[in-house]
Amino acid sequence: MLELKNVSFEVEENSKQKDIIKDISLTIDDNKFVAITGPNGGGKSTMAKLIAGIEKPTSGQILWNGVDITNMSITERAKMGISFAFQQPVRFKGIKVKDLIRLAAGNQLTVSGACDYLSEVGLCARDYINRDVDGSLSGGELKRIEIATVLARDTELTVFDEPEAGIDLWSFKNLINVFEKMHKEQNKTIIIISHQERILNTADEIIVLENGRVREMGKKDEILPRLMNGYEVCKKFV
């Protein structure tokens, strides 16, 4: 279970303090698929980074399974079973796809095993397994490879920051299937930052962030109809 208790986050802008996240308290139960959405600039990506440990709260606490992880690094949180997928995945010069997936798995994963993870995200393994994770890969290819590493890590909680960014229609539909499988078949907790209606419609619960505060939080069937009437939800991939 993930708990945020009175979490705030500030940055300095033009010699002044700017509030990005404002005194947020919420609980996300185990095995939930939660979508975080809301207007641009509302604090969604910052929230994801606070959960993952990329940023530290200015005040408040973050607890994971009852343990205070507020001041833990991203590495420490990863060891506790938290994964994070970036909106713009990192490129690694000099490392091959198979080695990246092996590192993520944390064990002596075979090439065949690495290929299985690539197949899960809709990539032809023989075309990618020996590719370098560099500038020769498109944004969509890199995104799917990153998600393959997330699958290989097999953690309890995964946070995705706008996974639809920069990918094509076919890739998007395939990724929706991956998320559904992670949630339903593997009983994982998933948090996705997204504006996409298809993702929001797949979630168990939706959190709406606006101006750094939780505007609404509840079951999808309660929140989504109001969102469709009150916010600009992207329908591009529906």
Q: How confident is the model at residue 64 (pLDDT cuts 50, 70, 90)?
A: very high
Q: How many CB atoms lie within 10 A of CB 102?
A: 19
- Is the distance from CB of 208 to CB of 230 less than 8 angstroms? no
Starting from the edge strand earliest in sequence, which strands make up the sheet with 213-219, in order?
A: 82-85, 157-161, 189-193, 33-37, 205-210, 213-219
DSSP state of 234: B
- Is the distance from CB of 31 to CB of 183 less than 8 angstroms? yes
The angle formed by the CA atoms of residues 145, 71 and 80, to the nearest 5 degrees, is 45
Residue type, 39: P
Q: How confident is the model at residue 67 (pLDDT cuts 50, 70, 90)?
A: very high
- Is the distance from CB of 109 to CB of 60 less than 8 angstroms? no
Greater confidence (187 vs 8) lies with 8
* 192 bridge partner residues: 35, 160
Q: How many CB atoms lie within 10 A of CB 85?
A: 20
What percent of the chain shows pLDDT beyond 90? 53
Q: Does pLDDT of 130 surpass 70?
A: yes
With a threshold of 0.85, does the pTM exceed it? yes
- C-alpha dihedral (99, 45, 230, 202), degrees to nearest 10: 30
Rounded Cα distance between 70 and 27, Å, is 15
Which among 63, 60, 70 has a CA at the least distance from the CA of 8? 60
Mean of pLDDT values over 67-86: 93
What percent of the chain shows pLDDT beyond 70? 94
Rounded Cα distance between 238 and 228, Å, is 13
Q: How confident is the model at residue 233 (pLDDT cuts 50, 70, 90)?
A: low
Q: What is the pLDDT of residue 209?
A: 94
Distance of CA 30 to the CA centre of its chain: 16
Q: What is the overall mean pLDDT for the chain? A: 88
Alpha helix (H) ranges present in 44-168? Answer: 44-52, 74-79, 97-105, 111-120, 125-128, 139-153
Greater confidence (108 vs 115) lies with 115
Rounded Cα distance between 85 and 144, Å, is 10
pLDDT in tens, 172-196: 777 888 888 888 777 789 999 998 8
- Is the distance from CB of 97 to CB of 145 less than 8 angstroms? yes
The angle formed by the CA atoms of residues 54, 33 and 44, to the nearest 5 degrees, is 40
Greater confidence (9 vs 163) lies with 9
Q: How confident is the model at residue 138 (pLDDT cuts 50, 70, 90)?
A: confident
Q: What is the pLDDT of residue 28?
A: 96
Which pair of structure tokens corresponds to residue 40?
């641009």
Residue type, 56: K
Q: What is the pLDDT of residue 237?
A: 39
Q: What is the pLDDT of residue 3?
A: 97
Could you give the count of Cα atoms lying within 13 Å of 17 in the half-sphere of its Cβ? 7
Distance of CA 72 to the CA centre of its chain: 18
